[in-house]
Structures are given as structure tokens and as C-alpha cells.
Amino acid sequence: MEIESTSQLTEWLDAGRSLCGVRLQDIDLRPVESRLLRLTQLRDLVVLGGQVSNELLVHLQVHGAVVFPGGPDTPVDVFRAHLYTGQELYAGLDGREGYAATVDSRAYNWGRDMRLAGDAYASLLKAIHDDSISDALDEWVAGRRIVGIMGGHAQPRGTGGYAAAARLGHTLASTGLVVATGGGPGAMEAANLGAVAPSPEVLDEALVRLRPVPTFVPDVRAWAQVAFEVLDSFGPRAWPEPGSAAPMVPSGRPADAVRSLGVPTWFYGHEPPNVFAQGIAKYFSNAVREDGLLARSNAGVLVMPGAAGTVQEIFQLATRLYYAGSNVTRPPLVLIGVDHWVDTLPVWPLLRAMGQGRGMADRLHLVDDPQDAVAIVSAC
């Protein structure tokens, strides 16, 4: 049993339940410290991070609990129980140092610090963080149909490709799907933007407002600030607080709607995360991030024109489809852009050849019109 908030722990204690075998993840235990100090049956209780006084720490350990403190010099909580938000990752953006002072930038620098290369403790902390994020991501997507949109990280704001990705994201979200991307700039940002935009008209206005700052180079602060301004213009919203359930989207949508997910990585630190994802599952390991994003895209994956990284993602998913057992539901893989995937990068002929006789041929699609891609995943 995992408990991930002080309120949840209070309810558990009020019900008189035993803490033996329970996992307390990233919780401030100070509000319930006096109650915990009265308990002596704590065998196999595991405390993962959070806020624990020295007195309570000793008490817990004496009575059989195991306590894992967070890393003292890490810029992020490695035991965190919930996904990030754009507001959290960009905290400090308005200060004198700009992006360099944000949680996102500091986490990247820590993760790539060569002084920590080969440090088993630092590697362990990164692995714990990424496992915690995976656990939080599983809870966030549970019961939802997720469609992944890949490719186009270099597509700047103000281009036709960016607008097309935004409208694709909006159309998919309007069918009830959660739009998941790699969480970065370009077409990824566009798709997340479209997913949370309350209407096509508001989306068109947002595209115009974003156009003056086409990329994050050379100024991440200007790029992110205009995005936050656009987000604010969407009207009242309930973005998630740490410890809360999945968020609600801007007004004009169903109160319980969740439409936009970003799954970026600090491995590509030169690409900051976009702020239009309601939940951001950011990883230190790019391999864990890529596999996790594809594995959770249970409604299918749509691939916009891209280059090496996009090709890698295509065949990573193709490998899953290729070896999937007959009792496994295979999500569709839809490549968008016939000329790109047949002539520029001839991925499509190889995919078709791989699919013959493997039970995956009917899950592979090549289209030019993004609306055809929407029809394919909506029908599954």
C-alpha cells in the first residue's frame, strides 16, 4: 500500500489501520508526528523521502521502519510521488538569472555533472527518481486512452507544420483521447498546446501570440514566458497541486477532462520542456523515458516528419509490435507524410517488409492528411 499525501495518511491513521508493510512516499510527516511517535508496531514500514524530524526518524527506525532520506544536494525530490507541472519546472524563471535558476536547468546540470560520473550513489538517486516518475505516470494515465505524437522537435512556432501539429492535438483531444508527446519544443509543444486549447478559435489566437518567439534559442525565458501568457489567456483552470489527483483543463471543457501529457528527458538538456502539458513526466534516463512513452500510448502513435530521433522511436515501437504475442492488443502506428517517409527517409518500405506475416501489418498506416490519422486511432 502506497500513501502519497499527509491527508491520505491522516485518514489511514483515523481508521486505526496498521502501518506495517505500508510505503509512505514523499510526505511531510510533521503534521502527524505526535501520532506516529505513539505507534510501536512499524515493522516493514518504508518511508521514502519527505519531511521527517530527527526524533521521529530515530523512533521509526527503532520500531522496525526503514527510512530513505532524499539526496541532500539533488535539485529535485528523487522520491516524488507526482508528475511535474510547467510552473514547477520553471520556478525562478523571472529572477535575475533567468532560466539558469529554474528547477529544470539545475536538474539538467546536476544530471550531466561529470564529477558525478561513475558515482554509484548519484546513479542510484537518478534511478530512484525515474522509477518514482514511472509510478506516478502509471497512476496519472490509469483508465485513460493515450495517443502518442512523435517527431518534429525542430518545428518552430509560426510555421505551417507547427500549426498542423497543434490542430491535430486539438482534434485528438476533442475525441476524448489524452495527447502524449515527448514534452519538448516544436511539434511536441504544438500538440500539447492544441490539446489544452478550449476551442479552435482560441487555438488560432494562441498560434498568433506565440509566433514572435519562434524558438527557445537564444532565450529560453522569452520562449517560456510567452507560453505561460498564452496559458493564462485560456481562462480559469485547475492545474494540479503536489499531492492532488489528475488536473482539470481550462474552462470550456468537462470538469474532469485530462488532455495533455509531456514525457521529456534531461538527457536532451538543450531542449527545455513545453508548459502546455498538464502532467510532465521528466526523466534522467532517455531510454526509460522513450520506452515508457511508447508503452503507454495504448490508443496508437502518430509520427510527424522527423529525423534520427524520430526514426529510432518508430522502430522502437515497431519492435514491440513485431514481437507482441497473439493475445496482446497492438496499437496502430501511423506515419504522417508520404513523401517524407517513402522518399526522404524510406522508413515505410522497411516497416511494411517487417510486418508481413507478423500480425502487425494491419496496424501500420501511412497517410498524408492528419485527419486520416485521427480517424484511424479514433476507430481503435
Dist CA 275 CA 216 (whole Å): 13
Dist CA 258 CA 184 (whole Å): 19
Residue 255 has pLDDT above 60, yes or no: no
Strands 66-68 and 23-25: unpaired
Percent of the chain surpassing pLDDT 90: 77
Least confident of 132-141, 182-191, 237-246: 237-246
160: left (phi over 0), alpha (psi -120 to 50) or beta: alpha
Dist CA 42 CA 45 (whole Å): 5
**Arithmetic mean of pLDDT, 305-322:** 90
Dist CA 196 CA 223 (whole Å): 18
What are the distances in angstroms from CA 61 to CA 49, 66, 183, 318?
14, 6, 40, 48
Would you kindly state where each structural domain of the chain is located, as residue ranges? Answer: 2-68, 86-132, 134-378
- When the pLDDT of each residue in the chain is averaged and rounded to a whole number, the result is 90
- Helix axis angle, 200-210 to 160-174, nearest 10°: 150
What cell does 271 get?
Answer: 531542449
**Arithmetic mean of pLDDT, 128-157:** 93
Structure confidence at residue 239 (pLDDT): 46
Query: CA 186, 188, 191, 196 torsion: positive or negative?
Result: negative
Structure confidence at residue 243 (pLDDT): 40
Q: Is 172 exposed, middle or buried (0-12, 13-18, 19+ CB in 10 A)?
A: buried
DSSP per position, 228-262: HHHHHHT-S--PPPTT--S---STTS-TT---EEE
Beta bridge partners of 252: none
Residue pair 19/42 in contact (Cβ under 8 Å)? The answer is yes
Residue 256 has pLDDT above 70, yes or no: no
Query: CA 206, 303, 179, 365 torsion: positive or negative?
Result: positive
**Arithmetic mean of pLDDT, 57-72:** 88
353 CB-near residues (< 8 Å, 6+ apart): none
Structure confidence at residue 236 (pLDDT): 60
- In the sheet where 46-48 sits, what is the strand order? 2-3, 23-25, 46-48, 66-68
Percent of the chain surpassing pLDDT 70: 94
**Arithmetic mean of pLDDT, 141-169:** 93
**Arithmetic mean of pLDDT, 5-22:** 95
Nearest by Cα to 306 from 186, 194, 223: 186
Q: pTM for this structure?
A: 0.88
In the block, residue with C-alpha cell 521502519? 65
Q: Just give the CATH number of 134-378.
A: 3.40.50.450
**Arithmetic mean of pLDDT, 124-147:** 94
Give per-residue pLDDT as tens, 227-254.
999 999 987 653 444 344 444 433 343 4
Residue pair 324/330 in contact (Cβ under 8 Å)? The answer is yes
Residue 372 has pLDDT above 50, yes or no: yes
Structure confidence at residue 247 (pLDDT): 43
